[in-house]
Structure 1
Amino acid sequence: MARNPQNVERLRPVDLARAHGLSTQAVRNYEEAGILPPADRTAHGYRTYLPLHAAALRAFLALLPGHGHPTAASIMRAVNRGATDEAFRHIDESHVQLLDDRRTLHAVEEALRDLEPAPASEPGGIFVGPLADRLGIRPATLRKWERAGLVRPHRDPRTGYRVYDDAAVRDARLVHQLRRGGHLLEQIAPLITQVRAAGGLEPLEGALADWHRRLSGRARAMLNGAAELEAYLRLTQAAAVTY
């Protein structure tokens, strides 16, 4: 529980909520989830918060755009139980993911610059399970993309299993990146058709530019989140010395 021996300003749940356009229930939920440190209670059982809680809420809300809710929540829970190394690991993993997304986008751009019509299927390739694992999706998602005509695996003549050759893997990676960018399957279909026909980059330029904007937006959001988290860490350290 956050202690307040020096009688610093006390805040009600509604004070935190109004400052950030949240409901009081959301503030209580964040506390119960460990995103905020435990609150003090009045003699009648009402929650009261300190500026430390306000800083925790600011840090969490700043972390959300760059890291997403699950990771932002994990970061705050780790900080609140004193496991700062674990919090930093979550942050590092997000940065690794962002770098991987940048590398994927660069690879897509490089591949599309010199794209030629997909070659005929050849023996070998990768099965649905390993490909799904590589992309971080479910096999059912790959089958859904296949039904939509976005990915075209062939069937192993002996087992009947789906096999993805280089062209199908390329299409799957492109669909995956477009979906992560918020594009609908209906929007992706003509892009995949254009890729297969080697019609050039013109239809894809808007999507590629949008990916760059999204990645830059995430990077800046991570910087903002890091600044607010650092401010919160300083307050937690100062509180530990004071108390």
Structure 2
Amino acid sequence: MPLRPIDLARPHGLSAQAVRNYEEAGILPPAARSAHGYRHYGERHAAALRAFLALLPGHGHPAAAAILRAVNAGDLPEALRLVDEGHALLAEDRRTLEAVRTALDHLPAGTAAEPAAGTHIGPLAHRLGLRPATLRTWERAGLVTPPRDTRTGYRVYPPAQVRELLLAEQLRRGGHGLARTAEILDRLRTAGSPEALRPTLTAWQDRLTTRGRALLAGSAALHAYLDHPA
């Protein structure tokens, strides 16, 4: 028995117009039309809609839509490549989380040894085993922006920024790029201190676990759609 747009929409709390929009976007395969131009959907369309909605939480709307469009266009390799990308992004986020945990574990225990007036670029670069030019590159990339001495114009890194750069150096040694390192330092600033960041890491881990399960659920629904007779 043909299904109307509302028949597909109602179980998911969607509108009939949303279903029509999904078809027009290629997320659903083309519907048959009655003599009067009404759309007639079938169980395969329902399976496609279930797959799309299951893919959304793990992959997000653009990727989920691209996966269904590729399947409906007969390009299964492209669809699977997009699915793999979602899992690869999750794996990279897991590696980043572990790198942050490891870097925090290797930070100095406190800032008592840091001069209250701040540290100049030469001594700090020597401490980190870097060249001053590297610290200037990190500054341009947005990792830290040290204030300047009002008399000399030299960079002066306050204790908090020294700690941030120690963390950045650990992350860079772990293979993380400047953009990802800058993002992690922003998380640190939001938390307020390295130790205050640890509860944030627990919440981060929970989000990754939720996303991992969502990716599994999306893959299962996509597999069911792929096995559905045309």
| Residue in 1 that maps onto 2:157 | none
The amino acid that maps onto 2:211 is R
1:234 to 201, 211, 227: 227
What is the CA-CA distance between 1:190 and the residue it aligns to? Answer: 5.0
The amino acid that maps onto 1:91 is V
| Residue in 2 that maps onto 1:204 | 197
1:176 aligns with 2:175: no
The amino acid that maps onto 2:26 is G
CA distance in 1, matches of 2:80, 2:71: 9
The amino acid that maps onto 1:78 is A
- Could you say what secondary structure the match of 1:124 adopts? helix
- Could you say what secondary structure the match of 1:90 adopts? helix
The amino acid that maps onto 1:82 is G
CA distance in 2, matches of 1:64, 1:41: 28
- Could you say what secondary structure the match of 1:15 adopts? helix
Q: 5+ residue gaps in structure 1?
A: 1-8, 132-141, 143-150, 156-163, 196-200
| Residue in 1 that maps onto 2:193 | 194
Kept in 2: contact 1:76–1:87 (CA 8 A): yes
CA distance in 1, matches of 2:65, 2:93: 22
Which deviates more from structure 2 when the two are superposed, residues 167-176 or residues 226-235? 167-176
What is the CA-CA distance between 1:10 and the residue it aligns to? Answer: 1.0
Give the paired residue count: 189
Kept in 1: contact 2:138–2:144 (CA 8 A): no
1:53 aligns with 2:21: no
| Residue in 2 that maps onto 1:167 | 165
Kept in 2: contact 1:153–1:168 (CA 8 A): no
- Could you say what secondary structure the match of 1:35 adopts? coil
Q: State the TM-score, normalized to the length of structure 2.
A: 0.72
Kept in 1: contact 2:71–2:79 (CA 8 A): yes
CA distance in 2, matches of 1:210, 1:178: 17
Residue deviations 1:154-184 (CA, integer Å, cap 9, x gap): 59xxxxxxxx9981983974662598xxx8x
What is the CA-CA distance between 1:205 and the residue it aligns to? Answer: 2.7
**Residue 71 to residue 190, structure 1, CA distance change in 2 (3 Å):** closer
1:77 aligns with 2:69: yes
What is the CA-CA distance between 1:189 and the residue it aligns to? Answer: 3.5
Q: How does 1:100-119 map to 2 (within 5 A)?
A: 100-116=92-108
1:37 aligns with 2:29: yes
What is the CA-CA distance between 1:220 and the residue it aligns to? Answer: 0.6
CA distance in 2, matches of 1:194, 1:217: 26
For the pair shown, the structure with the greater C-alpha radius of gyration is 2
What is the CA-CA distance between 1:113 and the residue it aligns to? Answer: 1.4
For the aligned residue pairs, the C-alpha RMSD in angstroms reads 3.0
| Residue in 1 that maps onto 2:212 | 219
Kept in 2: contact 1:35–1:60 (CA 8 A): yes
The amino acid that maps onto 1:76 is L
Give % identity: 51
The amino acid that maps onto 1:230 is H
Kept in 2: contact 1:63–1:225 (CA 8 A): yes
CA distance in 2, matches of 1:95, 1:18: 31
| Residue in 1 that maps onto 2:15 | 23
Q: State the TM-score, normalized to the length of structure 1.
A: 0.69
The amino acid that maps onto 1:167 is L
Q: How does 1:94-133 map to 2 (within 5 A)?
A: 94-116=86-108, 121=121, 122=125, 123-125=132-134, 126=137, 131=141
The amino acid that maps onto 1:204 is L
CA distance in 1, matches of 2:21, 2:185: 33
**Residue 228 to residue 128, structure 1, CA distance change in 2 (3 Å):** farther
1:92 aligns with 2:84: yes
Q: Which runs of 4+ in 1 moved over 6 A?
A: none
- Could you say what secondary structure the match of 1:153 adopts? coil
